[in-house]
Structure 1
Amino acid sequence: MSDQSKISQQKHIQDLKLNALLEVTKAINNNFSTGQLLDLFQDILENRLGVGKLVLFSFDTEWKCLLKYGIKKEAANIQFENELLSISEIETINFSKGELSKQFEIVIPVFHKKTPMAYVLLSDVNEEKLELSAAIKHLPFVQTLTNIIIVAIENKKLFKENIQRAQIKKELELAQSMQQMLFPKDLPNSDGLLVAARYLPHQQVGGDYYDFIKLNNHEFVFCVADVSGKGVAAALLMSNIQATLQSLITFTHNLKDIVIELNKRVITNAKNEKFVSLFLAKLNTKSQQLTYINAGHNPPILFYENKFCELSNGCPLLGIAEVLPVINVEIFNYTSEFTLVCYTDGLTDTMNMENDTISIEAVEDLIAKNNKATPEFLNKTILFFAEEFKGENEFPDDIALLTLKVSDLHF
């Protein structure tokens, strides 16, 4: 071949490569699918440059074959081999195990910083040709083209993941706003009865719940509950519990009947996969009675006549058994003012840097020191203490606080 012919051929190859890069860039800008990009990649290498055999492996949770051609049928089910992970530069295959060393000559790794993203293995169909093979002649270009294609595919995956994350975030924000609607908006705020609540979800939505329902001018039903687990599944079950409670209250104010029906609803909806702890109470400011059932919930802390009492009697967790074996309804008669702090286990499960958790005694100390303060202030004080206590740790779970201060006494 004359020098002029060689120059002309080199120019033709250079133009071909340049046009191929421009075509790939245009395809990426036009948002070609992954399949279309791989088809173009194969066309350039196989039909335009004459690379006889190729396999392309890419990592996506595991190593997968994205593209292969020119391989014999008996070796068509080709698999990634871990020996490739030791290769960081273009080189000939020098390991002898597996099918790859039998089928291919050259490995081109594609890295992002120090992380392998892809491996291209090349060879020629006719290995007896005396001239330099296309697989070797075009190595730098193949590496460049592979980098562009792989980065484009990765960007498409990231873009899709970002869209999915944005959709999930939007859905969670909607779920969060809907969950906030379940909580009572107006809590009593009079000289005789002060009620305040706070809720800190561990995630955007959670399984903690509180409610305060006015029956008449002197009777109120309130509760604090916690669904096992976290996130959307727990929030969905809790929203069902809230709806059931609100419905039952219109038919009965009997706490035992309400607990029995709530247990049935948990069994039906949770299919024994989740359970619910619940503290359910009725306050009568006229008869000065607090009636309650504690269904396996953290005992609320009652501060009465300078003494602490935990309200723990009741029944087992809801959702454990279809028929609750025993349901004890407790009645507390009061003749002077009291403070009641209801909470979920996210508070007492909060852990500091020394792996200690918040003790009931620590919470009681805060209540005693701030007994003259409003429930709102007391809730803020407790949560501030928890925030300081945990240090750099995360809160382990949702935290709900419902605090009452009763001083409307009738003699």
Structure 2
Amino acid sequence: MTSNTPTSEATVNAEQLRTLIKAFRLVSVSLDLRETLRGILRAVKKLITYDAAGIYVFDPLTKSLRGYEVIGYETDITQTEPFYAGKGIIGRVLETGKGVVVQDVTTDPYYIRAREETQSELAAPIVGSGDRIIGVINLESDLPRAYTETDLQLLKMFASMVAVAIEKAHLHKQLVETRRLEYELQVASQVMEKLMPDHPPQIDNFSICGRSVASEAVGGDYFDFIDVGDGRWGIVIADVAGKGIPAALIMASFRAYLHALLGNDFSLRGVFARLNRLLLKGEEGRHFVTAFFAELDSVERRVFYVNAGHNPPLFIRPDEPAQLLSRGGIPLGIFESTTYSEDIVYFRPGDTLILYTDGVTEATNDRGELFGLKRLENLARQHMGASAQELCHLMVDEVKAFADPERRSDDFTIVVVRAL
């Protein structure tokens, strides 16, 4: 398939989806980074024609990019000078974190010639955990105007796969180098921490905050805030069945799949159906994932949501009974034929949405009592004037104070959304 094949600007066709799923499966099962990257470049060529291509990985020590896997260059550019931020089209992508479509390289001030035949170029950032730019994937064509914005969106999806492959390979290397369980748990904790945002976004008409507290055993809790464009934000909370490094790796894959699929114009139920199949295809299928995703429209003051077997979030409106947002389906990674449904909730000023994992409601005190959902609701109602950040921190402190340290073996995560 060439880049001139008609496609929708926001969707992928059946052939493209099959190619993407095969690439996702390769990332899921292989720990050989070079083999995986070669496979990804082969898959890219089925959807986006190129004459030369390269995957460049960021080296934090030198703060530069080095060619890790390249195709179509006469000289070995992996041995040439590294690319620094702002140097060349690749360095420009590293510096800005944004993909570029260059229709005519001769008119681009950033272009550095590596091939005489190149006339157009396409490059996308490889975004790792914590939204860090960990590399760039670059395509070159001998034809002018060879690439479109649609091609860039597809390349970004492949870049997400590369990010998973790189991080899984790095994590695997760390595991091989250590034999002590304490260090393994420390690595898992760091991976899970990097998957989650450092701070909440600023969203018009809303106050938002999330916190995750790791247990000694390092579970699979995850939350994120994802900018999906046009003033809309994705809010996700998830929990992997399992602990330690396996849970961390599965959640890293889940995050990458979700970010990649949100780049298309799929409905939320479509995104979750595809997530379910992707998790089943790889080794992730040995574990299931519960997840809740809400797409927040801050202008219309509403959320579209889907719940895949996760603890139903609490929607609290002053002077009205609380609602449990449970519509969706069963957890991800159990049955291939699972379908999902979605629902919508409208906010008024003062309304509160509380997302949480089972480590909150199942926290147990020294008398064997559970923290439960009612305590969570009561805290929200007793502090209706507090900001999302204040309420989130208060809830975390209350769960910590309630739980018997000897009984707390699970992570717990809380996300609070308040309409202003």
* Change in CA separation of 1:235 and 1:356 when aligned onto 2, cut-off 3 Å: same
Q: Does 1:371 align with 2:384?
A: yes
> How far, CA to CA, are the matches of 2:349 and 2:388 in structure 1?
17
Q: Which residue number corresponds to residue 372 of structure 2? A: 359
Q: Within 1, Cα distance between the matches of 2:405 and 2:183?
A: 28
1:346–1:399 contact (8 Å) kept in structure 2: yes
Q: Which is greater in Rg?
A: 1
1:195 to 208, 216, 238: 208
TM-score relative to the length of structure 1: 0.55
Q: Secondary structure at the match of 1:356?
A: coil
1:151-206 deviation digits (Å, cap 9, x = unpaired): xxxxxxxxxxxxx9885444443443233221123422356222111111223643
Are 1:184 and 1:212, in contact at CA under 8 Å, matched by a contact in 2? yes
Give the Cα–Cα distance (whole angstroms) in 1 for the partners of residues 240 and 363 of structure 2. 17
Q: Residues 244 and 201 (structure 1 numbering): CA distance in 2 closer, same or farther, change over 3 Å?
A: same
8 Å CA contact 1:277–1:318 kept in 2: the answer is yes
2 CA distance for matches of 1:289 and 1:172?
A: 39
Q: Match of 1:215, SS? A: strand
Contact 1:349–1:396 (Cα < 8 Å) also in 2: no
Q: Does 1:321 align with 2:352?
A: no
Q: Aligned-residue CA RMSD in angstroms?
A: 2.1
Cα shift at 1:353: 1.5
3-state SS of paired residue (1:198): strand
**Cα 1:383–1:194, aligned 2, differ >3 Å: closer, same or farther?**
same
Contact 2:360/2:372, CA 8 A, preserved across alignment? no
Q: 1:239 to 1:341 in 2, by over 3 A?
A: same
Q: Secondary structure at the match of 1:214?
A: strand
Give distance in 1, aligned partners of 2:362 and 2:294.
Answer: 24
Shift of 1:233: 1.0
Structure 2: how far apart are the matches of 1:392 and 1:211? Answer: 27
Q: Matched residues in 2 for 1:167 and 1:271: separation?
A: 24
SS at match of 2:186: helix
Counterpart of 2:41? none
What displacement does 1:251 show?
1.8
- 2:214 is matched by which residue type in structure 1? P
Cα shift at 1:278: 0.7
1:322 partner letter? E
Query: Shift of residue 346 of structure 1?
Result: 0.7
**Is 1:207–1:227's contact at 8 Å kept on the other side of the alignment?**
yes
Q: Does 1:262 align with 2:263?
A: no
Q: How does 1:33-72 map to 2 (within 5 A)?
A: none
1:217 Cα deviation from its structure 2 partner: 5.1
Specify the alignment match of 2:255 in structure 1: 242
Separation of aligned partners in 1, 2:182 and 2:278:
29
Question: Matched residue of 1:387: which SS?
Answer: helix
For residues 165 and 247 of structure 1, the distance between their equivalents in structure 2, rounded to whole angstroms, comes to 32
**Equivalent position amino acid for 1:221 in 2:** G
Matches within 5 A, 1:9-408: 167-189=180-202, 192-203=205-216, 205-216=218-229, 218-252=231-265, 254-270=267-283, 272-307=285-320, 308-324=322-338, 326-407=339-420
Give the whole-Å Cα distance in 1 for the aligned partners of 2:395 and 2:271: 31
Q: Give SS of 1:266's match.
A: helix
CA displacement 1:217-247 (0-9 Å, x = unmatched): 5211111011112221111111100011111
1:260 is paired with a residue of what secondary structure?
helix
Check whether the contact 1:346–1:397 (CA below 8 A) recurs between aligned residues: yes
Of 347-356 and 186-195, deviating more is 186-195
1:284 counterpart letter in structure 2 = D
* Amino acid paired to 1:319: G
Deviation at 1:363?
A: 0.8
Q: Secondary structure at the match of 2:229?
A: coil
Structure 1 residue 328, shift from structure 2 partner: 1.8
Gaps of 5+ in 2: 1-176
**Deviation of residue 378 (structure 1)?**
1.2
For 2:302 and 2:393, locate their aligned partners in 1 and report how far apart those are by CA, in whole Å. 27
Asked if structure 2 preserves the Cα contact closer than 8 Å seen for 1:267 and 1:319, the reply is yes
Structure 1 contact 295–318 (Cα < 8 Å) conserved: yes
* TM-superposed deviation, 1:359: 1.6
TM superposition score normalised by structure 2 = 0.54
Deviates more, 1:184-193 or 1:235-244: 184-193
